[in-house]
Amino acid sequence: MAHSLHQILQIAQSGMLARFLELDVVSHNLANIYTPGYKASRANFQELLTNAHKGGVMLRSTTADATQGSIQISDNPLDIAIQGDGFFAVHLPDGRIGYTRAGRFTLDENQRIITENGFALDWQGDVPPTTEAIQVKPDGAVQVLVGGTWTPVGNIQLVRFSNPSGLLEYGQNIRLESEISGPAQRGTPGQNGYGALIGGAIEASNTDFAREMIRMIALQRGFEISLRSFQQTDRMLSLAIRMRGG
């Protein structure tokens, strides 16, 4: 009897923890509803089985939803949206390369193209200090206006992965390559399955506000049910121990 009740306690406890962790994922999605290029995440759980008995569930992984976000026109020519498959490659402070869909770029004091968080875009080219204007073509070609003349200065490539859902979270809307994602594959935008670039535009977050709110409400109710089950089982276990002791 005591063992059975203890098992029920473990299942209820794992249910509460699972819902708490998934609630964290949903909250993160909602917090990034206005983050350019953000891909909403989904929690993946696995059942815990011991000697053919259920022992609850555990968070196995999170998977990013690769659905295309809406394209929004901006007034910054260095805002770049990806229409289709692919990521921008950026240099991280520790020397690694990160990957992002967030195409809100600016120029720093060294004429580097950088993200909102200061990560330099990994591309083939340089922006001259005398640049008067800049534009990005759908195939990634970058042109600058100098002395009234448009001149090509380089190209932006995109990166794809055989399993993008296997990319690791770095933070700040950046992902990292992993064994599960497969190696980075670079290519020309608009060719061979790579998405095209749209200069002066931003890909919005693909977070669905209504869906996330419904999920949050369901998780809160599920947590309350698991909590009541845990409390009731704990009382039953305490009563069984007292009766046995008496």
Instruction: State the sign of the Cα–Cα–Cα–Cα dihedral 201, 193, 38, 125.
Output: negative
**216-238 pLDDT, tens per residue?**
898 888 777 777 776 777 676 67
**112-170 pLDDT, tens per residue?**
999 999 999 999 999 999 999 999 999 999 999 999 999 999 999 999 999 998 899 89
Q: Please state, in angstroms and rounded to a whole number, the distance separating the CA atoms of residues 225 and 3.
A: 22
What mean pLDDT value characterizes the chain? 87
pTM of the model: 0.78
Nearest 10 degrees: Cα torsion 219, 220, 226, 230: 150
User: How is the chain split into domains, by residue range?
Assistant: 2-66+207-245, 71-203
